[in-house]
Amino acid sequence: MVLNELRGAKLFSPDTERLVLRPPQDSDLEAMFEIQADPTVNRFNAAAMLSTREAAQELLQCWQRHWQTEGFGYWAIALRTQPEQVLGFGGLMSKRIDGQQGLSLYFRFRPQAWGQGYASEMALAALALAFEHLRAPAVLALVQPANMPSRKTLERIGLHLKASLADVPGQAPNLLYEITAAAFAAAPKLKPEPTPFGA
């Protein structure tokens, strides 16, 4: 099934054991700017760092439009015990990667949320959404080579290095990770260990 056939499908956000996963709202603008403009968060990818609230507003609106047209997208992520405090953003979006349209996995968290397994927990929910509900053939993720914490997280949830892409001028080629529907179905459903802070 191609992704266009799923356009407009309204899917519920699957909360996890510890996390609330919901579509981003206008009220998330300040949290988005704080996270996306934080040099520590962007230490491996300075080109992605936002410098103005206007840029954050444009990004937020882009994510909201994806939800409106596709019925899924990046989530605002919070603890179930503190749903008003956004810890990060992540999930799936339909993107063109390496010349093909597919699902891209993304996550970005506040530094104080690192090392506690939240990225893995969210990402496993995203993979379940991709393969059990969207019936996608594969999920991809792009990461900078030096970003070992994100790479280890991707590998712990079953993604494998597929290729490198020189897709951003002046920046080291991104690494392209992939997990197929068959690999996800065959993988043991175990809770992965958190990636250590600063790994």
Residue 49: predicted pLDDT: 86
Residue 172: predicted pLDDT: 77
Instruction: Set out the domains of the chain in order of their start, with CATH numbers.
Output: 3-186 (3.40.630.30)
Determine the straight-line distance between the first and last CA of the chain, rounded to whole angstroms: 38
Residue 187: predicted pLDDT: 85
pTM tops 0.95, yes or no? no
Residue 114: predicted pLDDT: 94
pLDDT digits (tens, 9 = 90+) for 25-52: 999 999 999 999 999 998 988 778 898 9
Angle (nearest 5°) at CA 189 between 184 and 191: 120
Q: Which of 106, 81, 70, 84 is nearest to 22 (CA)?
A: 84
Q: Tens of pLDDT along the chain (199 residues)?
A: 344 444 444 454 578 999 999 999 999 999 999 999 999 998 988 778 898 999 999 999 999 999 999 999 999 999 999 999 999 999 999 999 888 889 999 999 999 999 999 999 999 999 999 999 999 999 999 999 999 999 999 999 999 999 998 776 677 789 999 999 999 999 877 676 666 654 4
